[in-house]
């Protein structure tokens, strides 16, 4: 497995296809919206020896005080093989993401994975607020 931070057109198509068709948090995300999001993020792509996409995630950060982990996925054929752990390890060990006061993420179903890397429920959940538009990409 190889971790890289650049996304070519082929990778983008696979990332968009997975997110827009299978990711409950951003179904139907338009390509132009995803391109903008990726261009303003630190992206993590895991590929196999043949250069095929296995997994993806991105981080939005000021690189000094906070970061937010987003759009994490491992393609179905690669799940249960340690790819997700390798992806999260690469993210939390990235030199630009060290010394942050807060590193956040949202998940419905992968708490166990993230807990292995130090993520916990918010210390003060009542202090968190959001504007949440879950169906923003729906017709």
The pLDDT of residue 58 is above 80:
yes
Compute the average pLDDT of residues 16-34: 96
User: From CA 66, how far away is CA 63, in angstroms rounded?
Assistant: 7
Q: 3-class SS at 56?
A: strand
The answer to whether residue 122 scores a pLDDT higher than 80 is yes
pLDDT in tens, 91-120: 999 999 999 999 999 999 999 999 999 999
Domains of the chain: 2-127 (3.40.630.30)
**Crossing angle between the packed helical segments 31-39 and 9-22, to the nearest 10 degrees:** 120
Is residue 128 helix, strand or coil? coil
Element at 67 (helix H, strand E): strand 66-74
pTM over 0.85: yes
Average pLDDT over residues 126-132: 91
* Secondary-structure breakdown of the chain: helix, strand, coil percentages, each rounded to the nearest 5: 35, 20, 45
């Amino acid at each position: 497995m190889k971790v890289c931070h650049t996304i070519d057109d082929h990778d983008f198509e696979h990332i968009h296809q997975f997110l827009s068709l299978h990711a409950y948090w951003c179904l139907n995300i338009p390509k132009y919206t995803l391109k903008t999001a990726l261009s303003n993020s630190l992206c993590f792509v895991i590929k196999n020896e043949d250069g095929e996409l296995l997994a993806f995630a991105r981080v939005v950060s000021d690189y000094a005080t906070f970061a937010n982990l987003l759009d994490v996925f491992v393609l179905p054929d690669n799940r249960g093989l340690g790819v997700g752990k390798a992806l999260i390890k690469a993210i939390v060990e990235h030199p630009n993401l060290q010394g942050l006061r807060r590193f956040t993420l949202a998940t419905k179903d992968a708490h166990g994975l993230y807990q292995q890397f130090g993520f916990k429920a918010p210390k003060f959940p009542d202090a968190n607020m959001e504007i949440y538009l879950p169906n923003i990409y729906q017709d």
